[in-house]
Amino acid sequence: METNRLSSKIEKILNQQITKEADAAQIYLSYGAWADDQGFAGVANFLFRHSQEERDHMNKVMSYIMERGGRVKISAIEAPSSDPKNLQDCFERIFQHEVDNTNAIYEIVSLAQEEKDWATWNFGQWFVKEQIEEETLVLDLIDKLKIAGGPKATSESLYFFDSQLAQKEDEADLARDASAERP
């Protein structure tokens, strides 16, 4: 009796996503270590927390494959690329990683839709929303860095940015949710 409820294509793309999330966790980890070395303890803390979040995403995909009777395959991840040049560069690179990951999630939901695998489609929607939040969060930080002066920001404004990040919420508020929650 066939107990695997995932097609081989869906199983493959979900396993690839496990690697992508692990990859993202590794990137956040390496940028966090870089930030700490530069004296930005708040930024480092924020990036380490995010690294953990990416690991949680990896586990979420892994659990889903197993729940559906599929086979999890763990692959190697690459070493992260070179250190960022400055904070602006760090967050711009993170934004690009998030956009790449969003595109990977879109591939999953598109394939699920094509195969009429509504369970996977439904599962993927959690990630679609999560990616909107993550992109919004990073864009907001890039904006703040621009206001602080971008690559020419003074140490005083960077100190302020860093202390803000030490206590920043990990989830961004989305405008659409804010209006929906209004009484």
Least distance (Å) between residue 77 CB and ligand OFO:
13
Residue (57 or 68) nearer to ligand OFO, CB = 57
DSSP string, 74-88: ----PPP-SPPSSHH
Residue (133 or 160) nearer to ligand OFO, CB = 133
Least distance (Å) between residue 182 CB and ligand OFO:
27
Residue (47 or 148) nearer to ligand OFO, CB = 47
Place of tokens 């591939």: 107
For residues 105 and 125, what is the distance between their CA atoms, to the nearest angstrom? Answer: 9
**Interface residues with ligand OFO (CB under 6 A)?**
21, 24, 54, 57, 98, 101, 130, 134
For residues 29 and 45, what is the distance between their CA atoms, to the nearest angstrom? Answer: 10
Residue (11 or 54) nearer to ligand OFO, CB = 54
Least distance (Å) between residue 133 CB and ligand OFO:
9
